[in-house]
A and B are shown apart, each in its own frame.
Chain A
Amino acid sequence: MTLLTVRKITRTFGEKETAVHALQDVSFDVEAGTMVALVGRSGSGKTTLLNVIGGLDRPDTGTVHVDGVEVTALDEDGLSLLRREKVSYVFQTFGLIPVLSAAENVGAPLRLARTPAAERERRVALLLDLVGLGDHAGQRPGELSGGQQQRVAIARALAASPRLLIADEPTGQLDADTGRSVMALLRGVVESEGVTALISTHDPIMMALADRVIRINDGRITE
């Protein structure tokens, strides 16, 4: 079953002589429950593509469908609902709220979804156990290591049971060992939660863990 359908996406930054064609006629499909690695050099258009798919950016032309929803046709509220229910992100810089504990950070999407407190606490505990931070629930991001923070970010991304997990260089700020453990975690999450993951990376290990690798070069899919 196809979860993600990308058709003829183009995205250009700037105008005329200074125009940069970040994405040119990009089309591909991703099956549900697979882990896809998006690979390319810096500036090849990986992040732009992820942003367009997640509704953080709008393409000049083309369409994106996630779980049957046409992302490119949604308004701001629709995109917010999409990100709340179907698509979630893991950033290179974690993006945690510093004054909230790990558990409260993980529970943030559930709050937005108005999940009852008891169910929220149960789900948060489950996810923190899943990422191996069950004992660190009360700690704030500043009291956690970089790898632990990224695990919290992954748990947060999974909190609302999204259909599509988008991770933009999730190991970019981690050392090699920590990066590997995070990658293994992502692989495990895809299998255990049945999530579809689209991960941009330079890391060959991550590519090896992926079900499929999509290469992008100068804004074009070269797979």
Chain B
Amino acid sequence: MKLPSPRWPSLRRPVLHWPVLHWPVLHWPSIRGRARADAGPLVLTAVVVAVVSALAGAVPSLLRSTADEAVRDAVRRAGSNADVTVTARWEPDDGETGRIRMPRLAEDVTALRERALNELGGGLRAALLPPVAGVITPTLKVTDGSVLRTLRLGYLSRDGGPAVTWLTGGEPGPTEEGFPEVAPSGPPWTVSIGLSETAAAAFDAEPGDHIPVADEKGNPKDVVVSGVFRPADPADPAWRLAPWLLEPVTGADGLGSTRFGGLLSAASLPDARLAFGPDDTKRTVWFSPDPDVLTWESADRIAATAVTLKATSASSSSFDTASTWNTQLDAVLRDVREQVNAASAQASVLLIAVLTVAVLVLLLAAGLVVHRRTPALAVARQRGTGLPVLAIELVIESATVALFAAGIGLAFARTLVSQSVSGNGPQPSFGVAALVAVVPVVLAAVMAAPVLAVIAAARATRDRRAPANRSARRRVARTAQMRRVAGELAVFAVVAAAFAALHQRGVQPGAAVWLPAAAPTLGVLAGALIVLRLAPVGAGFALRWAVRSTRPLAVFGASRVAETAGRVLPLVTMVVAAGLPVFAFTVAGTVEAGLRDGAWRTVGAEARLDLAPDSLASPELVRRIAGQRGVSHVVAGQVIDGARIVAEEVTVSPRLVIVDARAFRELLEDTPLPDGGALAGLESSASPSASASAPATASASALPTLFPDKSEMSDEGSSVPALVLSADGGMRVGMKLQLLRDDAPAVALTAIGTAPAIGGAPDVVLVDANALATAGMTAEPDTIWATGPGAAQAITTSGVAGDAVIRTEILRERHDAPLVSGLLRLAWASAVVMLALGLLGFTLSAAATAPDRWQTLTRLRTIGLRPRDARRVATAELLPLAAVAALAGPALGLGLAWQTLGPLALRLLTGQSADPAAHLPWPALIVVSTSFLVVALAVAPAESALRRRQHLSEVLRVGT
């Protein structure tokens, strides 16, 4: 076999060639070997990337689906308020001597429906259910002398429905065919109606019977029963518009009233029009939104279309047959849009916080990996490995780990998102937003270790030493110091800009959302930099104290602390990772507390009964509620929304509340609501007789002033003291006010204090009922507030017509609302993840410094330090970092919460009229603080246990 001849270096002059770029030759065994050697930190990196990718990837999609659900939920809650209605007058039916019967009115109703469908436009039509067209007459009173019963006639038409089955008799027919002209002075025109089984039984009516009814002016109407029907489908949406056609409804027309319905047919509709005044009935088409097809994206477009329709429709007072559009859907969608924007802003803030902590922890992990690899990398450099080759090899390793982990995280997020969507709503897209959210984490995981490693390898082999000249060394140090100061100033400038943006315009959706949304995170970061500046000073003090101390171990612990106090990344990471969970916990705590406060403010008591129109809170009713078990206070009062009050020549429309001041103060003192004290000012100004007559018991306290003796009404014309609350400052303490009345002179009021918020109204005027009665205005109580554990039950079972508003139900509804529950879940999850990342970061930081620490401790052991004392010194080294994190982090998190929660508009979710005060769940603060200390206390024994098998000689030999 011929051996290859050796290649000797040529001694000839080298020939110059253009440089040829060669693809770097990677050393795969080195890549595999490094990965195997540092499997632990790499696995930790992968876990961090996977967990944060799962969270960050899930949030955008969950936010979108939650926004969709919030839109649907808001529309469902709005009920008929979200309906889109279009009304139109009839063609005039004037004849020569009277009114002409128009037999084709049902066709006119259908025509209006078709016209409305055309005017709707495709976008809005797709979001609405098939319309129901119809006519509903004014209310008639049944005049058979029995209890108060009312009757309304209704005609409904919906794609051939709603279908009914006639049990007896038949469909209402025309009173007279053709176009007869009816004289206005003639007898009431007869109208045929159908009755439901329940109504027929209640009236004991059969086909052919007449129901004695009259309108509100007492004019009798002639209504005859043509038949008794049963609905083919009681759940048909058409019946929702007139449920009284099927079942009587109590309280709809006043206290103790029961409303019945009479079904009109296409044939009897013309007779119904003739039976009432020319403009008493109108054609109406109702469109109900279909919540299942509504989405956050479509909400804006639908709201805009609704506004356009309302703006371009005819005035309701016009006398032509043009259609008039009405809906509150745009307002409902506008409100929910504000809520979604607020929730998105809050979610962005939390997400940025999580990503920041994750990136910092990944940098720590990268630092640990590089710390372990530096000797090997230096050797590789010395053997000729180029920095580009090293960089590529390390990027291959880190990219493999990061992308694999991110893939797992995103797959988990996708599963989470798909499982979290309930009902028939559309599946949320899992797209670009989720991928964008994980980019910072993946980028940090891919690039941090290679960049740090290349820098370390370059430094290890760089022939660059500190200058021998002292002034040159000082210059180098000064330059480094200036560079650091410049960096810190840049950070502070960004923080200032973020805060300015947050406070000036809040976190509005858009391209520049990240800057204000990052304000809390940047604030904590800036605080951490300040702590970083103070840490060496503190460590120096501690060292000087330890040197003078008689405790033998103090100086060793303090010396290690002084050595490590200036390390930037661990301290910044710990402070940020302790501060931001506290911020997230504070967000959650503030929302929870705000919800509780908002529910109290909305109700004003444990339970409230808003009596139906034309109903009054009788003394018997108040006594009955007060007598229920578990009721501690009951107050009846009158609430008038939109009262006309002149304040300094400007008319305002606040909510006027007339209550017994003393009883209401006692009731408020039984609640967490503030501002009850101001009511004492009204009590002292009330007449002595009224104050003295107020008994101590709940049941009677409301009665004397709300139902005053007429003989007490005197002193008309004197100024009545009042409490005022004004959102825009239009009413202020000390102002003279005039309460305007329709048929009576105005009542003079004097604002002597601040009123409590009543039902969340921004503008409130509260007066004492007795004082007002003295001034000549008697209250007509229509609202009852009650407190005590049995208040909800007592109000709910009061048996009178009205809306029972229960605080616990309001709280549960708001708490379970999609946006609120979603934000709370995100806040808690973010806090837990950030805390876990912070603790992991602490462990990584400890692991990075462990070799140096135990090298020092081993040397100290050679001069007689006992093993347990070595553990104590190690703990003493680790504790200050944990203590700084435990103290400075939460302090910064709390401070930032105080500074930034206002612009984040949590009130939109809590139902409060003002921004809630930051509320910290103290147990969470204790958990955050103590967890860092506990981990610090656990790390030193763990490190000691890991090194137990190592002899001192091995450590020293390795160290040398």
Contact = CB atoms under 8 A, between A and B. Distances in A.
Interface of A: 47-48, 51, 54, 56-58, 76-77, 80-81, 83-85, 88-89, 91-93, 95, 97-100, 104, 108-109, 111-114, 117, 156-157, 160
A85 B866 contact: no
B864 A85 contact: yes
Contact of B555 (A47, A51, A83, A111): A111
Contacts of B65: none
A97 B960 contact: no
Given A47-B953, A80-B867, 14 more contacts: A56-B956, A77-B866, A80-B864, A81-B864, A83-B864, A88-B863, A91-B859, A91-B862, A98-B563, A100-B559, A108-B556, A111-B555, A112-B863, A160-B863
Among B547, B859, B863, B956, max chain A CB count under 10 A is at B863
Contacts of B957: 47
A114 B563 contact: no
A93 B555 contact: no
B864 A114 contact: no
Q: Which 9 A-B pairs have the closest CB atoms?
A: A84-B864, A51-B953, A95-B859, A57-B953, A56-B952, A80-B866, A111-B552, A56-B953, A109-B863
A32 B543 CA distance: 39
Mostly, the A contact residues are helix
B959 interface: yes
B951 interface: yes
Contacts of A80: 861, 864-867
B856 interface: yes
8 contacts: A54-B862, A77-B867, A81-B864, A92-B960, A100-B559, A108-B555, A113-B864, A157-B863
Contacts, number: 80
Nearest to A81: B864
B864 A48 contact: no
Contacts of A99: 543, 559, 562-563
B866 A76 contact: yes
B956 A58 contact: no
B304 interface: no
A139 to B, nearest CB: 14
Contacts of B489: none
B864 A91 contact: no
B958 to A, nearest CB: 11
A93 B862 contact: no
A76 B867 contact: yes
B860 interface: yes
Interface in B736-774: none
Contact of A57 (B562, B859, B951): B951
Contacts of A111: 552, 555
Contacts of B951: 51, 56-58
A56 B552 contact: no
B118 interface: no
B422 interface: no
B550 interface: yes
A51 B953 CA distance: 6
A93 B859 CA distance: 11
A53 B110 CA distance: 110
B863 A84 contact: yes
Contacts of B555: 100, 104, 108, 111
A109 B860 CA distance: 8
Contacts of A89: 862-863
Interface string B527-559: 000000000000000010001001010011001
Contacts of A104: 547, 555
A92 B863 CA distance: 15
Nearest to B552: A111
A97 B856 contact: yes
Among B856, B859, B862, B865, max chain A CB count under 10 A is at B862
Contacts of B862: 54, 56, 83, 88-89, 91, 95
Interface string B863-883: 111110000000000000000
A112 B863 CA distance: 8
A83 B960 contact: no
A102 B959 CA distance: 21
Mostly, the B contact residues are helix
Contacts of A117: 550
Contacts of B952: 51, 56-57
Among B562, B860, B864, B865, max chain A CB count under 10 A is at B864
A93 B959 contact: yes
Given A97-B559, A100-B559, A104-B547, A160 B864 contact: yes
A112 B865 contact: yes
Nearest to B562: A99
Nearest to A110: B552
B863 A108 contact: yes
A95 B852 CA distance: 12
Contacts of B550: 117
Contacts of B543: 99
A104 to B, nearest CB: 6
Interface string B554-587: 0110010011000000000000000000000000
Contacts of A93: 959-960
A3 B957 CA distance: 26
A80 B959 CA distance: 20
Contacts of B865: 80, 112
A54 B861 CA distance: 12
B957 to A, nearest CB: 7
A176 B421 CA distance: 78
Nearest to B862: A89
A178 B864 CA distance: 28
Given A51-B953, A56-B952, A56-B953, A108 B861 contact: no
A180 B38 CA distance: 43
B941 to A, nearest CB: 15
A186 B959 CA distance: 24
A122 B736 CA distance: 86
A112 B956 contact: no
Contact of A112 (B547, B864, B960): B864
Nearest to A157: B863
Contacts of B959: 93
Nearest to A85: B864
Contacts of A58: 951
A45 B42 CA distance: 38
Contacts of A76: 866-867
Contacts of B552: 111-112, 114
Nearest to A57: B953
B936 to A, nearest CB: 20
Nearest to A88: B863
Contacts of A92: 960
Nearest to B555: A111
A54 B550 CA distance: 28
A91 B956 contact: yes
Contacts of A57: 951-953
Nearest to A172: B960
A188 B552 CA distance: 30
A40 B62 CA distance: 72
B870 to A, nearest CB: 9
A97 B556 contact: yes
Interface string B834-872: 000000000000000000000010011111111100000
B710 to A, nearest CB: 91
Nearest to A95: B859
A47 B865 CA distance: 21
Given A100-B559, A111-B552, A83 B861 contact: yes
Given A104-B547, A160-B863, A48 B953 contact: yes
Contacts of B953: 47-48, 51, 56-57
A104 B862 CA distance: 16
A51 B951 CA distance: 10
A105 B547 CA distance: 11
A98 B263 CA distance: 98
Among A58, A85, A112, A113, max chain B CB count under 10 A is at A112
Contacts of A156: 863
Nearest to B955: A56
